[in-house]
Amino acid sequence: MEKSHPDTVLLYEPGLYQLVCNSRLPIAEAFQGWVFGEVLPSIRKIGSYKLPESEPLYCKQMKLINETDLHYAVVEYLKKYHPKALILPGLGVYQDTSYKRCDAWRKGYMGGQPDLMIMNPSNGFHGFAIELKTPKGTGEVKDNQVAWLEALNKNGYQTLISNDYTEIVLDIEEYFRVDKTKKLLKEIKNLKIKCKTLKASQCKEVVIRQIGYTVGKY
């Protein structure tokens, strides 16, 4: 390991499990649920755990081949792991039938509007706009969609164009990730203000005692 990067952190298998079990990240909690809900009970009952037969890759792709499926999958993820997220659906959720598309226009949805918008401010952004693209469609971003995303980006929104569920989920996690450095600096700033206020209050009390002032006496 002499040639490894100086900042490299090595974990043995037991250490990895301890780290995951102490983590509160959604992906770690999902792993914990799998280990404690499936793996360990199976080992206790039959002495081993067998992974389910994997499906062919094309079958997995078929499940999320259109934007509506991808849209619902992302929304379900948000509801499960970020229940406080304020979600504004775009036209994408209304695209599977002509009736729904007409209903969307009546409700005020406009062409080019991102398929999904997270309206919770986080990490310096006002929100997160996501444009979904899947093989069923053209896979191309239209001019009005580009205009929407550029305008939102200029107004402080994070934006993403993707047809990859995993990429979208990872970007959502990064968006909601708490910046501990900024949080610590903010706490230090507030603490300094409190100390300054307390110090001023104590100095005032000392002066009052020195001059012998009694409240209500004069």
Phi, psi of 109 (to 5 degrees): -70, 140
Which pLDDT value is given to residue 195? Answer: 75
Please tell me whether the overall predicted TM-score, pTM, comes out greater than 0.85 for this model. no
Which pLDDT value is given to residue 52? Answer: 65
Which pLDDT value is given to residue 18? Answer: 76
Nearest residue to 72 via CA among 96, 88, 103, 93:
93
- Do 148 and 112 touch, CB atoms closer than 8 A? yes
Which pLDDT value is given to residue 183? Answer: 67
Domain boundaries, the chain: 1-54, 67-176, 183-213
The token pair at 118 is 């997270």
Q: How far apart are CA 11 and CA 17, in angstroms?
A: 9
Which pLDDT value is given to residue 58? Answer: 40
The CATH code for residues 67-176 is 3.40.1350.10
Query: Tens place of pLDDT for every residue, the chain, 218 residues?
Result: 555 556 666 667 777 677 777 777 777 777 778 888 888 888 888 888 776 655 444 444 444 557 778 888 899 999 999 999 998 876 554 455 555 555 555 555 556 778 889 999 998 899 999 988 765 555 667 788 888 889 999 999 999 988 888 899 999 999 998 766 666 677 778 777 877 777 766 666 655 555 555 545 54
Q: How far apart are CA 134 and CA 162, in angstroms?
A: 8
pLDDT in tens, 53-63: 554 444 444 44
Which pLDDT value is given to residue 48? Answer: 82
